[in-house]
Homo-oligomer: A and B are copies of this chain.
């Protein structure tokens, strides 16, 4: 696409923007942090000194921001994308935000002749670098068709339905991820309580009906209490909060999601919200009256 303005040059946004450049799109990136802009420039992404500069003449904008209020401000706030983009432009929000907010913003954008898609991703920094992110898209069919070349440069997109459907799918994903981590934590707790080697137990479980991607990927790190950040627990808590809010709005009881969020909140309350989400094992250590190993010092 001739001009894409990319907003949010963080751990995820930078490699995603780099993949757009690699696919031949003309990209201009922006982030409020000068350090983020410099890091992106060092990776060959043209950066702009302001949001307005990044959007000058852009046919499309891509946003990759932390939370709902950030997206609301950048899209619909004063001097935001709905003012900066021309009618006919495409607005692709890859952030993970509330489905209701995504629907509201898409509606507001449509009122200005701008087609907005919600397109949250899963796959982490590794998937962002490799261009293999799973991208869950909500929006009108025609807008999705126009956006597909942009989305394909960053991963594997799939349209899930009208505006908000991408965000809703992401929340389904995250509530399952959280519960899988809890399941691994309880298996490790039971293994320890019964005098078994947790690593040996996880190996056996990963060979059968108890297998999960989370167990395969984080099981050993949980068993040895290696809490170094992977996906930050604070971000998982944001997603669980959005899932529970969406559950309230739709009247859908989510008891296990609520329990998982409580255990992760307890972990964050212990000053460890900055650790990886798999560090919820430490909440179980405390529940069982053990003091988790030191070395989780990155938390806060």
Query: Residues of A at under 8 Å CB distance from B?
Result: 99, 122-124, 134, 136, 156, 158, 160-161, 164-165, 168-169, 171-177, 179-180, 182-184, 186-187, 189-197, 200-201, 204-205, 207-215, 217, 243, 246-247, 250-257, 259-260, 263, 284, 287-289
Contact = CB atoms under 8 A, between A and B. Distances in A.
A180 B182 contact: no
B160 A172 contact: no
B123 A209 contact: yes
A247 B192 CA distance: 10
A251 B195 CA distance: 12
Contacts of A215: 176
A183 B175 contact: yes
Contacts of A99: 194
A258 to B, nearest CB: 9
A27 to B, nearest CB: 26
A122 to B, nearest CB: 5
12 contacts: A122-B209, A156-B207, A158-B204, A172-B187, A172-B205, A173-B187, A173-B204, A175-B186, A176-B184, A177-B210, A209-B214, A255-B287
A190 B247 contact: yes
Contacts of A182: 179, 256
A250 B184 CA distance: 18
Given A158-B200, A172-B201, A256-B259, 15 more contacts: A122-B208, A123-B209, A134-B207, A134-B208, A160-B196, A161-B195, A172-B190, A172-B196, A173-B204, A176-B210, A179-B180, A179-B182, A179-B183, A193-B247, A193-B250
